[in-house]
Amino acid sequence: MEFTAQQIAMWLDGVLVGEPQAIVNKLSKIEEGEPGGLSFLSNPKYNQYLYTTQSSVVIINKSFVPEKPVKATLIKVEDAYTAFAKILQQYDNARRASKKGISPQAFIDPTAKIGQDVYIGEFAYIGPGAIVGDGAKIYQQCYVGDQVKIGKNTYLYPGVKIMHECIIGNECTLHAGVVIGADGFGFAPQFEDDFRKVPQIGNVIIEDRVDVGANTTIDRATMGSTIIRRGVKLDNLVQIAHNVEIGENTVMASMAGVSGSTKIGKNCMFGGKVGVAGHLEVADGVKIGAMSGIASSILTPNSVESGVPSFTHKSFLQSSVYFRKLPGMAAQIKELEKRIAQLTAEK
């Protein structure tokens, strides 16, 4: 598809500087721009490429003032990153909407209910009593278990597994290899130094507009539900244990893990490899630095913590100054011990 700079500017409510009829037919990084490309500039680190890019049109912030002539046509908006994200979303929607129909190589149980405009790819399995909402896309080799409910316009990419009785909301995206509703890690110690498996009879509930990254796992509850609230974004390789609840619009980066029965508030942000112990509570708006370990509840909303075990981020940064000095301090302590020993001996 082709668009003019003027059409894009009108759509983004932007200010056009340059050639209104400049044609765009592809999306490009600003540093790799090509004729016909549409790029954006929001990070000052890339300012230099604005003057050399071959892209035909570049979206920039209204606050940015070029220091020298620019060959490309410019579209000035309040937030270039957000504006370009909007374009990417429309492009992605158009690309994904091209998937239609049900493959004859898919298996759909006769008792399953399939909505309108659904795509089901080759070797997908839809189990007894499952419900698939209008506009859902279920790609190749997905498994949708018994009594599973999938909302409208939800995407399951190849290899996603949704185990029995789990519920997925509207407009969710589950990337390749996601497993929803596998058994929680429940084992009871026995007197003979053995463990007895505790049946996991609950389910997982994922509300609307949740994104789940590739190979992330969300375990079913022992009883009741593991709940992922509306708008949550989970990166690749995240582990959510049984009976966890994650509040609205919380985001977690890759390899974060939350242990069983912990409650995470809304609008929280977890860096990569954050580990959270079980049966804790984390207040709304809390931010956790990457590779931190949460060993006790964080009850102060909007606090920022780092470290293992975690404490306030300000204290962590102050402490890190001394972390670097520990080898030298250790040497000084040894020297002081020698001098004390000598003084003691002289007495």
Q: Would you please indicate which residues are annotated as catalytic (active-site) residues?
A: 242
d(Cα 176, Cα 156) in Å, to the nearest integer?
Answer: 8
DSSP state of 307: T
252 pairs with which residues across the strands?
Answer: 234, 270
Burial, 93: exposed, middle or buried (Cβ in 10 Å; 0-12, 13-18, 19+)? exposed
**Among the listed residues 270, 223, 222, the one whose alpha carbon sits nearest the alpha carbon of residue 246:** 270
Q: What are the φ and ψ backbone dihedral angles of 196, each rounded to 5 degrees?
A: -105, 130
**Among the listed residues 34, 57, 60, the one whose alpha carbon sits nearest the alpha carbon of residue 47:** 60
**Among the listed residues 166, 113, 163, 109, the one whose alpha carbon sits nearest the alpha carbon of residue 136:** 113
For residue 167, give Cα distances in angstroms to 275, 279, 317: 26, 23, 42
- 55 Cβ contact list (under 8 Å, min separation 6): 28, 30, 33, 34, 35, 37, 38, 39, 72
**Among the listed residues 318, 325, 263, 319, the one whose alpha carbon sits nearest the alpha carbon of residue 294:** 263
Sign of CA dihedral 232, 185, 147, 244: negative
Q: Tell me the pairing of strands 15-17 and 73-77.
A: antiparallel
Q: If you write DSSP's letter for every residue of 219-230 in order, what string do you get?
A: EPPSSSEEEE-T
**Among the listed residues 238, 314, 247, 249, the one whose alpha carbon sits nearest the alpha carbon of residue 276:** 238
